Homo-oligomer: A and B are copies of this chain.
Amino acid sequence: MSLIVMKFGGSSVGSPERMQRVAKRIIDSSSAGNRVVVVVSAMGDTTDDLIDQSKQLNPNPPAREMDMLLTTGEQISVALLSMTIHQLGHNAVSLTGWQAGIRTEAVHSKAKITDIRPDRLFKELDAGNVVIVAGFQGMTEDGDITTLGRGGSDTTAVALAAAIQADVCEIYTDVDGIYSTDPRVVKCARKLNEISYDEMLELAHLGAAVLHPRAVEYAKHNNVKLVVRSSFTQNEGTSVKEEAVMEQGVVVRGIAFDKNVARISILGVEDVPGVLAKVFGSLANNGIDVDVIVQSGVKDGKADFSFTVSGDDIARAVEVISGNRDQVPFNEVTSEDNLVKVSIVGAGMVSNPGVAATMFAAISELGVSIKMVSTSEIKVSCIIAAEPLQDVVRALHTAYGLDTAEQVFVGGPQDRR
Residue positions of A touching B, CB distance < 8 A: 16, 19-20, 50, 53-54, 56-59, 61-62, 64-66, 68-69, 71-72, 75-76, 78-80, 82-84, 86-87, 93-94, 96, 99, 120, 143-145
Contacts and interface: CB of A to CB of B under 8 A. Distances in A.
Given A62-B86, A64-B93, A65-B86, A16 B79 contact: no
A58 B87 contact: yes
A100 to B, nearest CB: 10
A234 to B, nearest CB: 23
A160 to B, nearest CB: 17
Contacts of A78: 68
Q: How many copies does the complex hold?
A: 2
Contact of A94 (B20, B50, B68): B68
A96 B50 CA distance: 17
Given A58-B86, A61-B87, 7 more contacts: A59-B87, A62-B83, A65-B82, A65-B94, A68-B75, A69-B75, A69-B79
A99 B16 CA distance: 32
A61 B99 CA distance: 20
Contacts of A69: 75-76, 79-80, 83
Given A62-B86, A69-B80, A120 B93 contact: no
B99 A83 contact: no
B58 A76 contact: no
B57 A16 contact: yes
Please give me the 9 A-B residue pairs with the lowest Cβ-Cβ distance, nearest first.
A69-B79, A58-B87, A72-B72, A68-B79, A58-B83, A61-B83, A57-B84, A65-B82, A16-B56
